[in-house]
């Protein structure tokens, strides 16, 4: 089993404390060793015991306390990073963190020789303004949380989801083909459509419109976002509560982006 030596782990605290204490003991024995030949057996025993216990007690305690505080700071920094990247209402990534992670993945595809595919979905809650107007913003917030949960429930561990607008969510699906992407999008749409949302006992059906595009090969976040946004506009123009996914357009996006990159 591999020892976890990350800044937030107890393994790092214990390892540094043990190694540092051993170093202090070794130094104490080395410095005092020049006096050992001149000491009586009893004095030698006391000197060696001192060289062992003093660094062990003082150095070990100091190192443990220091590493413990460093671990606490690392945990606090990690938590702050998570908070900074998370939308506080829906507990998914915020727009900045979402776009940064997607662009990082796409950057890797541009550097690697093997072709990598994926898809981007933009999900927009239908008639969301009317929910806020009729039921209040608290109910609107509750609806957004339910939609976010439904989206996450349809995704794999490697997929990325973020809130990219007031009632808009983005989903990035690395390593999938267009047919798989459409199935995920349709699964999200159906799950949200079938949810029971009845604030205050008043039934309020939820639905979403989804625009999607896929890519195969080098592309950019801006290119696939624009393509998915056009498909979202088509889904809303055609009556909402539907998925508009155009693999043909996605192929053109990837080709034009590849030409730009190279």
- 171 and 151 in contact (C-beta within 8 Å)? yes
d(CA 225, CA 208): 18
Q: Which two tokens stand for residue 262?
A: 């190279």
Who's near 150: CB < 8 A, 6+ residues apart? 188, 191, 192, 195
DSSP of 82-108, one letter per residue? HHHHB-TTTSSB-HHHHHHHHHHHHHH
Active site residues: 167
- 105 and 174 in contact (C-beta within 8 Å)? yes
- 144 and 94 in contact (C-beta within 8 Å)? no
DSSP, res 118 = E
- 231 and 253 in contact (C-beta within 8 Å)? no
Neighbouring C-beta atoms of residue 83, cutoff 10 Å: 9
d(CA 209, CA 121): 10
Continuous segment of H or E residues that includes residue 71: helix 60-85
Closest CA to 92 of 53, 109, 140, 101: 101
CA 184 distance to own-chain centroid: 20
């Amino acid at each position: 089993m591999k020892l976890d030596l990350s800044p937030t782990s107890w393994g790092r605290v214990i390892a540094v404390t043990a190694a540092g204490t051993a170093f202090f003991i070794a130094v104490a024995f080395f410095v005092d060793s020049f006096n050992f030949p001149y000491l009586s057996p009893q004095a030698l025993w006391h000197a060696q015991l001192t060289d062992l216990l003093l660094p062990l007690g003082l150095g070990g305690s100091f190192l443990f306390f220091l590493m413990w505080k460093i671990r606490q700071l690392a945990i606090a920094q990690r938590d702050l990073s998570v908070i900074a990247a998370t939308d506080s209402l829906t507990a998914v990534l915020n727009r900045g963190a979402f776009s940064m992670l997607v662009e990082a993945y796409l950057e890797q595809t541009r550097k690697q020789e093997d072709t990598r595919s994926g898809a981007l979905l933009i999900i927009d809650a239908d008639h969301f303004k009317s929910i806020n107007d009729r039921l209040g913003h608290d109910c609107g917030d509750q609806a957004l949380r339910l939609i976010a949960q439904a989206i996450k429930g349809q995704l794999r561990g490697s997929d990325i989801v973020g809130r990219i607008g007031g009632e808009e969510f983005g989903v990035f699906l690395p390593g999938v083909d267009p047919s798989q992407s459409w199935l995920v999008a349709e699964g999200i749409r159906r799950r949200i459509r079938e949810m029971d949302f009845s604030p205050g006992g008043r039934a309020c059906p939820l639905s979403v419109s989804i625009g999607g595009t896929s890519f195969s090969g080098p592309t950019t976040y801006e290119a696939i976002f624009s393509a998915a946004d056009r498909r979202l506009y088509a889904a809303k123009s055609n009556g909402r509560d539907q998925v508009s996914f155009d693999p043909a357009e996605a192929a053109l996006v990837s080709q034009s982006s590849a030409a730009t990159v190279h």
